[in-house]
C-alpha cells in the first residue's frame, strides 16, 4: 500500500474522531460501558472496506459506537441493519447515527434479535454479532 492510500484510509476509517469520542463519553456517563474498543472499531471498518461490503448486519447496537464505524466504512449505496432490544439504547443510537451523518444508511430494528432476524431479507456481506449469545 502506498503512503497516500494509507493516509487516506487512516483519515477515513481508522481514527477515533471527536464524534466517536463524544459518543464513547456519552456511554461512560449513561452506561453500560460495554461497547467495542476503538481498535475493534478500526478493525471492523477495515473489514468493511477490504471486502467491499454493501450490506452489513449488526446484532447488538447499544448506543451505536460500532455501528458508526461500520456505517462510515460502507460505500454511499451501502446499508447497515442493526438490531437492538432496548428502546432507550435504540433511541440513543438513532441520535448518534444522525449526528455522524450516516442515519440515512442505517436502520435500527427494535426488539428481540431472533424475532427480528426472521423478518430480515438476506444475504448480508458481513455480520457482526455483539450481543448476548444465549
72-119: pLDDT as tens digits? 999 999 999 999 999 999 999 999 899 999 999 999 999 999 899 999
pLDDT band at 42; cut points 50, 70, 90: confident
Which is it for the CA torsion 112, 63, 49, 14, positive or negative?
Answer: negative
Domain containing 69: what range?
A: 3-129
Residue 32 lies in a domain: yes
**How far is C-alpha 76 from the chain's CA centre?**
15
Residue range 65-74: mean pLDDT, rounded: 93
Mean confidence (pLDDT) of the chain? 86
Q: In the chain, pLDDT over 70 holds for what percent of residues? A: 83
- Cα separation, 89 vs 86, in Å, equals 5
Total of domains in the chain: 1
Does residue 124 surpass a pLDDT of 80?
yes
The answer as to whether 76 is a domain residue is yes
Q: Do residues 27 and 63 touch, judged by C-beta distance below 8 A?
A: yes
The whole-angstrom separation of Cα 13 and Cα 86 is: 28
Mean pLDDT within 6-16: 64
What's the predicted TM-score (pTM) here?
0.82
- Domain membership of residue 134 (yes or no) is no
| Total number of residues shown for the chain | 134
Give the separation between CA 105 and CA 126, rounded to whole angstroms. 15
Domain containing 114 — which CATH number? 3.40.50.150
**Which pLDDT belongs to residue 117?**
93
Amino acid at each position: 500500500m502506498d503512503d497516500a492510500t494509507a493516509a487516506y484510509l487512516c483519515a477515513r476509517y481508522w481514527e477515533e474522531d471527536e464524534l466517536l469520542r463524544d459518543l464513547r463519553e456519552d456511554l461512560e456517563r449513561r452506561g453500560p460501558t460495554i461497547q467495542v474498543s476503538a481498535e475493534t472499531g478500526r478493525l471492523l471498518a477495515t473489514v468493511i472496506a477490504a471486502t467491499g461490503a454493501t450490506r452489513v448486519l449488526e446484532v447488538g447496537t447499544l448506543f451505536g459506537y460500532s455501528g458508526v464505524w461500520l456505517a462510515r466504512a460502507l460505500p454511499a449505496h451501502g446499508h447497515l441493519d442493526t438490531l437492538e432490544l432496548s428502546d432507550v439504547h435504540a433511541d440513543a443510537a438513532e441520535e448518534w447515527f444522525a449526528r455522524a451523518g450516516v442515519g440515512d444508511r442505517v436502520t435500527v430494528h427494535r426488539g428481540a434479535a431472533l424475532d427480528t432476524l426472521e423478518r430480515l431479507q438476506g444475504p448480508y456481506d458481513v455480520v457482526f454479532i455483539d450481543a448476548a449469545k444465549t
